[in-house]
Chain A
Amino acid sequence: MTQDYQDGNALAGPLAELFAVDVTAATGRCVSCGDTGRVADLRVYGHELGWVARCPSCDHVMLRLVRSPDAAWLDLQGTLSLRVPLPPS
């Protein structure tokens, strides 16, 4: 069967509109199974209605992003925490 998802790098463009940092370089913890991994390693489904990023370990939805003509909705209830690497201050 052909792979029906992309990796989390597919989120780089749409998330860059919302955040000043590159969120695909962040690591997130899955609410469902507790696994930690890079946003770039999530499995990203769809994009026509919205981006649905799932945990590669358990398929739980970790991030949803919907873009309307004049707004974006971001849901992170499947993500327990995001660690965003920053330049040393």
Chain B
Amino acid sequence: MPPGQYLTEDFPVLSAGPTPNIPLDRWEFVIASEDGREYRWTWDELLELPAEEPTVDIHCVTKWSKLETTWRGVSLDVLMEDVETTADFALAHSYGGYTTNLPLEDLLDGKAWIVYEFEGSELAPQHGGPARLLVPHLYFWKSAKWVRGIQLQEFDELGFWESVGYHDYGDPWREQRYQGD
């Protein structure tokens, strides 16, 4: 367990706004590169991509951790396969307006997924369904609920919580909770 965390069996719901209602026939996921090129997937196209079932520990900055959670979704490596970029940074953005920033390398090499199932069931709206980002090696606020897309860019743009005091990177093993940690 990372320092300062405690175990929880339930799955607390943390929100910064109303839960968006996203009809699947209008859902889309967009990766935009730094030169303006866009790569889009509809809901059906996402489900057709090869899926993985990662079992991972998740760590919330509010100090709860949940071990061996099981998800189903598409690796960012698959989604990034045809994307041409030299960007170093990514800003994930969500239906409802939430954003979070992370280095692009933290989304690659089997470290991140767009997930649409949790513990064998479709991902509930309060937990980020229809689909959320899953980046379990960073604090869970980086795993954006209701994810809509990822903007690739050459500069680091602070996201929703990162711009009001939370840490730019958020490594639970180094207890990077707030700016300056």
Q: Residues of A with Cβ closer than 8 Å to B? A: 4-5, 45-46, 48-50, 52, 54, 59, 61, 64-66, 68, 71-75
Determine how close the nearest CB of chain B comes to the CB of A13; give it in whole angstroms: 18
State in angstroms the CA–CA spacing of A30 and B16 once bound together: 17
Query: Could you say which of A5, A52, A71 contacts B178, with CB atoms under 8 Å apart?
Result: A71
Q: Which residues of B contact A46 (CB under 8 A)?
A: 14-16
B5 close to A (CB within 8 Å) = no
**Residues in chain B near residue A72, CB distance under 8 A:** 165
Q: How far is the CA of A7 from the CA of B157 in the complex (A)?
A: 31
Cα–Cα, bound, A50→B98 (Å): 14
B14 contact from A48, A54, A74, A75, Cβ within 8 A: A48
Once the chains bind, are A64 and B164 in contact (CB under 8 Å)?
Answer: yes
- Given A48-B12, A68-B177, decide whether A75 and B164 contact each other with a Cβ distance below 8 A: yes
18 contacts between A and B (CB under 8 A): A4-B15, A4-B19, A45-B15, A45-B18, A46-B15, A46-B16, A48-B14, A50-B165, A52-B17, A54-B17, A59-B17, A59-B18, A61-B16, A64-B164, A66-B178, A72-B165, A74-B164, A75-B163
Q: How far is the CA of A65 from the CA of B14 in the complex (A)?
A: 15
Closest 5 CB pairs of A and B: A73-B165, A66-B165, A68-B178, A52-B16, A73-B164
* CB of A42 to closest CB in B, whole Å: 12
Report A54 CB to chain B, min CB distance, Å.
6
B48 to chain A, nearest CB (A): 32
Contact in complex: A49, B62 (CB < 8 Å): yes
Chain A minimum-CB-distance residue to B17: A45
Residues of A contacting B15 in the complex (Cβ-Cβ under 8 angstroms): 4, 45-46
Docked-complex contact A71 and B165, CB < 8 angstroms:
yes
Closest to A52 in B: B16
- Cα distance A5–B13 in the bound complex, in angstroms: 12
B64's closest neighbor in chain A, by CB? A48
State in angstroms the CA–CA spacing of A48 and B64 once bound together: 11
**B16 pairs with A49, CB closer than 8 A:** yes
Assess the A48–B178 pair: CB atoms within 8 A.
no
Q: B64-118: which residues lie under 8 A (CB-CB) from chain A? A: 97
